[in-house]
Amino acid sequence: MLLERGAELAAVRQALSAAAEGRSSHLVLAGPFGMGRSTLLHELPRCADEGTVHVMRANAAPAEQDLAYGVVRQLFDSLLTAASGPDREQLLADAGAARRVLDDDVVPDLEAPDCAVLRDLRLLLAGLSATAPLLILIDDLQWADACSLRWLAGLAPRLDGLRMLVVCTLRDGDPGARDPLVHEVVSTAVRVLRPVPLSPAATGELVEAYLGDSPDEAFVRACHDLSRGRPLFLRSMLSELALTGCRPLAENAGLVRTARPTHLRDRLLNCLLLQPRPVRDAAAAIATLAGQEEPALLTRLAGLDDVGFTTALRVLHQLGLTAEEDRARFAHPAVREAVECSMSAAERQCWHEAAAEVLYESGLPAEQVAAQLMAIPTARYPWAVPVLRSAADAARRRGTPEPAARYLRRALLEVAEQDRKRAHLLVELATVERSFDPPAAESHIAQALPLLPAARDRAAAVLRLSPWVTSPMTRSGRALFRRAADDLRDPYTRDDPGAEEVLRLEARLRYTGIDDYAQLADAVERLRALEPTVRLRGGRELLAVLLYAATLTADGPSAEVARQARTILDWEPATAPGGGSVMQLVMFALVGADALQDAESWLNAAAGSGPGDDGAIDAMGHARQALFHVARGRLPLAREQAALVLEGAGTIGEESRCFVYGVLGALALSARDVQLGSRIRAAVADRTLAPVPAALLGLLRMAEQARSGDAAAALDTAMDCGRQLECAGWRNPVLFPWRPWAISFSDQLGDHHLARTLAAEEYARAREWGAPAAIGRALRLRARTDAADERVELLREAVATLRGSANELELFMAVRDLGRMLGDGPEGREVLREAGELAESCGVPWLPGPVAAEGRPSAPAVRTALTRTESRVASLVVDGLTNQEIAKELQVSARAVEKHLTNSYRKLGITGRRELAAVLREIEEHVPG
């Protein structure tokens, strides 16, 4: 399929017509590698009618350059082999002295041809042309043998009296093209034709012909850009893509660059091997320093002077192997592959070694030098290890640990001795591996420990596995930590008390046992005996873990936990790297102690430090802010921060992910946001979470069951979560509010004895812990379950207690219940007015005034008034579903949905969906307590 070669074919047709009239001529098809000269030459016989011309062909080849008259013999053989026996004998009989060249039984003379041979060859052509015009086609003239070139050089100026057209192809830039005889032959041509690259339109036709479908424009553009319109490049790529079944679609445009046609690479390899050494060296330098186009570096690596390299670069461009004459950039990826294939493995290693040295001595970035070192087994340069370590550090700071690990693994090959230097490399390697290959990191730390002489160094190495207190740790990792901790405490092996490392190791080991009842109790005892050393980071880490343990167990007065947490705040810098892990534990402790006022200034300072230079979202900072607002009962602000957390979730490390999910779970429970809860539970379905967020997310399933109207299942889930928390020793009533939910469900189901028992337990636990939020909530729950004559006093006490709490949402619910209990008198209205203000501050919807005063039933009455199906339909209405969508969800008819809604409106004394949403939100406020 020959495209866009009309001008060349027209020139040949015109020359053939002139030859038939006795005006012979000589044409040359010239151009760079891959431009389709040979394909065009093979199509030229079609320019004449079949049988009207004698076609003589010859293909010159580098391997036949020493064969005298090789091209001449091919030309005449193309006639002799097609002739019959008598015609062949007659042709040889008329050859005269030329028979010595044409007869297979005669060995041609390697010396210069005599005049008789040249004369008789011309006479033989004259006789042939008398019967029909001759079309002489010679491919790759630059490789023709010297005797044939001398004959052609003598024939070309003497075409008078002959009827013939001579067409030769010539590759630009090839060494043979600069031969004086070749130049002499070309200079006699009446015209030099240069085929131009294919247009995008022609490229599209070829794409469709090879791949069978009408191509997308983006796919055609990718093919045209990569091939630069050269037919050989394009056909080779399309043949390779056709074998893979690739379709010419826009989404497959990227596959064009990945195609690696072996046919094209082999052709390029043959082209390169024929070039002189300076040209091959320049190409090898360009291939070795891929992407580096600085002429001075390439010139030095190639071992050439400026003139030599410029000349070589010009030749490469003439050949068509580089994209531009003055830029060292290959025209196609296959060119680099061919250059690399032209070298042996030993030669490639030598080139990369030389490149590394050139780049290092030129002061280029470490990663560029390291890229060369990565291509050789060992360099033995004294600067190799420092360069690889610098490259690894640059990759790590860029946020790409995998390349950093590869650099460090390569650096280990340069260090054969089992000494401290190797140990430090192993520790650095483990540091970057911990984020994507924890088992490998542990293995490398284990290898490094015997090579480190000091116990403190061994402890520091182990700590690299868990840079933050909350970092995940495997069983084998814990064994390494225990071994390092015992090593530091051993008076016979330690050379330094290593107080900082001892504290940090203990902090991590105690954090890993936070879900073990015995270890949790031991941590609380350790807290009582601890003399805080908050000036040291290790001291703050250990104290934070122990306070976290005390908070989970609610063991000891909350005021003391809050006091010690404040000491950490005083010493923990708001912008300290990794400070988030300590603050995660401190924040949970302060939330559990209901003492968040002390954290506000620290959080504001941390927020004031802003994001990094890249403008990335500080997801952890927003998570801390979200937890602060949840604990304060400021739900709109908490939701704003949670949205930012979700937006920047990709930047959160594994050591902080559990904290984030715990915060989002707490928000979903406080805001009764079932959709957020479902989203969180789906996100962590395949993850292993730390105990606290796992417990909070377990409670989310209970909220979903309550929303669906299955109070019995919700009660079972609440009680099951409660049993698990109690068995683990986690009894904090602020962090784990399972009893308030269970009280509401048991009361709803009519089990008032269970409700009173749970309320009494919650009150006793809250009093023991002493956090105002817990005590106030417990008093409010008792007011719902105790005798009617005690409820007002219990609620008054709850409100008074909660005025000293940080949690405005708990205060709102206590004030609201007190106002409704007081009724429609002046005091009741004043209390309800305050409740309205608190509701607005907390961002919770509610029905102002006593519900009964508006003619609607109270929340408990609503719960008993609506059937389970009516409750489910009403919930779906609030979620925004249409009647048809609700019918599909419940697998009932739309008429049934309308009937359930009508009954609900009648029972609630409302007229439409908007009022239904307000009433149901009011009900939800009663559900958790």
- Report pLDDT for 108: 53
- Report pLDDT for 168: 96
- Report pLDDT for 112: 44
The amino acid at residue 919 is V
Q: Are residues 744 and 789 in the same domain?
A: yes
Q: Measuring CA to CA, how many Å separate 724 from each of 695, 720, 729? A: 9, 6, 9
Q: Please give the Cα distance from 68 to 55 (Å, whole number).
A: 22
Counting Cα atoms < 13 Å in the Cβ hemisphere of 427 gives 21
Lowest mean pLDDT segment, chosen from 310-314, 524-528, 786-790, 800-804: 786-790
- Report pLDDT for 109: 53
What confidence category does residue 608 fall into, taking pLDDT thresholds of 50, 70 and 90? low
Lowest mean pLDDT segment, chosen from 420-424, 556-560, 566-570, 708-712: 708-712
Question: What is the CATH number for 488?
Answer: 1.25.40
Pairing of strands 164-171, 134-139: parallel
Contact 106, 140 (CB under 8 A): no
The pLDDT > 90 percentage for the chain reads 50
Contact 20, 133 (CB under 8 A): yes
Q: What are the tens digits of pLDDT across the range 700-730?
A: 888 888 878 888 999 999 998 888 888 888 9
Alpha carbon 926 to its chain's center: 46
At residue 850, does pLDDT exceed 50? no
What confidence category does residue 491 fall into, taking pLDDT thresholds of 50, 70 and 90? low
At residue 854, does pLDDT exceed 60? no
What confidence category does residue 856 fall into, taking pLDDT thresholds of 50, 70 and 90? very low
Q: What are the tens digits of pLDDT across the range 381-407?
A: 899 999 999 999 999 999 899 999 999
What confidence category does residue 845 fall into, taking pLDDT thresholds of 50, 70 and 90? low
Flag whether 369 is in a domain: no
Q: Burial letters for 734-757: b for 16+ Cβ neighbours within 10 Å, e otherwise?
A: bbbbbbbbbbbbbbbeebeebbbe
At residue 493, does pLDDT exceed 50? no
Number of domains in the chain: 4
Question: What is the CATH number for 151?
Answer: 3.40.50.300
Domain's final residue, options 818, 844, 870:
844
Flag whether 315 is in a domain: no
Q: Are residues 668 and 714 in the same domain?
A: no
The amino acid at residue 687 is R
Q: Are residues 831 and 859 in the same domain?
A: no
Contact 265, 336 (CB under 8 A): no
Contact 774, 736 (CB under 8 A): no
- Report pLDDT for 127: 82
Flag whether 364 is in a domain: no
Flag whether 87 is in a domain: yes
The pLDDT > 70 percentage for the chain reads 89
Question: What is the CATH number for 883?
Answer: 1.10.10.10
- Report pLDDT for 725: 87
- Report pLDDT for 376: 92
What confidence category does residue 579 fall into, taking pLDDT thresholds of 50, 70 and 90? low
* Mean pLDDT in residue range 728-742: 90
Lowest mean pLDDT segment, chosen from 160-164, 505-509, 855-859: 855-859
- Report pLDDT for 285: 95
Query: How long a stretch of residues is the chain?
Result: 929
Q: Are residues 901 and 840 in the same domain?
A: no
Q: Are residues 470 and 578 in the same domain?
A: yes
- Report pLDDT for 855: 37
Contacts of 260 (CB under 8 A, 6+ apart): 240, 333, 334, 337
Q: Are residues 801 and 903 in the same domain?
A: no
Lowest mean pLDDT segment, chosen from 25-39, 301-315, 650-664: 650-664
- Report pLDDT for 607: 76
Q: Are residues 32 and 169 in the same domain?
A: yes
What confidence category does residue 732 fall into, taking pLDDT thresholds of 50, 70 and 90? very high
Q: Please give the Cα distance from 44 to 24 (Å, whole number).
A: 16
Q: Measuring CA to CA, how many Å separate 265 from each of 344, 426, 453? A: 16, 41, 54
Q: Are residues 13 and 107 in the same domain?
A: yes
Handedness of CA 278, 282, 283, 287 (dihedral sign): positive
- Report pLDDT for 925: 45
What confidence category does residue 672 fall into, taking pLDDT thresholds of 50, 70 and 90? confident
Mean pLDDT estimate for the chain: 86
At residue 310, does pLDDT exceed 80? yes
Domain's final residue, options 164, 193, 222:
193
Q: What are the tens digits of pLDDT across the range 236-272?
A: 999 999 998 899 999 999 999 888 899 999 999 999 9
* Mean pLDDT in residue range 807-819: 92
* Mean pLDDT in residue range 556-566: 91
Question: What is the CATH number for 840?
Answer: 1.25.40.10
Flag whether 604 is in a domain: yes
* Mean pLDDT in residue range 876-880: 74
Contact 591, 627 (CB under 8 A): yes
Flag whether 228 is in a domain: no
Spatial CA neighbour of 644 closest among 611, 613, 677 = 611
Q: Measuring CA to CA, how many Å separate 698 from each of 314, 629, 661, 692, 887? A: 72, 22, 12, 10, 30
Q: For residue 731, give the DSSP letter.
A: -
Top-confidence residue, 114 or 802? 802
Q: Are residues 511 and 540 in the same domain?
A: yes
Domain's final residue, options 844, 874, 889:
844
Could you list the residue range(s) of the whole structural domain that residue 187 is in?
Answer: 6-193
At residue 13, does pLDDT exceed 80? yes
- Report pLDDT for 918: 66
Q: Please give the Cα distance from 717 to 730 (Å, whole number).
A: 17
Q: Are residues 66 and 138 in the same domain?
A: yes
Lowest mean pLDDT segment, chosen from 157-161, 251-255, 764-768, 906-910: 906-910
Q: Are residues 775 and 878 in the same domain?
A: no
Q: Are residues 672 and 738 in the same domain?
A: no
User: Which stretches of 513-574 are assigned E, i.e. beta strand?
Assistant: none
Flag whether 641 is in a domain: yes
At residue 516, does pLDDT exceed 70? yes
- Report pLDDT for 594: 93
At residue 495, does pLDDT exceed 50? no
Q: Burial letters for 457-470: b for 16+ Cβ neighbours within 10 Å, e otherwise?
A: bbbbbbbbbbbbbb
At residue 882, does pLDDT exceed 90? no
Flag whether 565 is in a domain: yes
- Report pLDDT for 610: 53
Rounded to a whole number of angstroms, the CA Rg of the chain reads 44
Q: Please give the Cα distance from 124 to 430 (Å, whole number).
A: 82
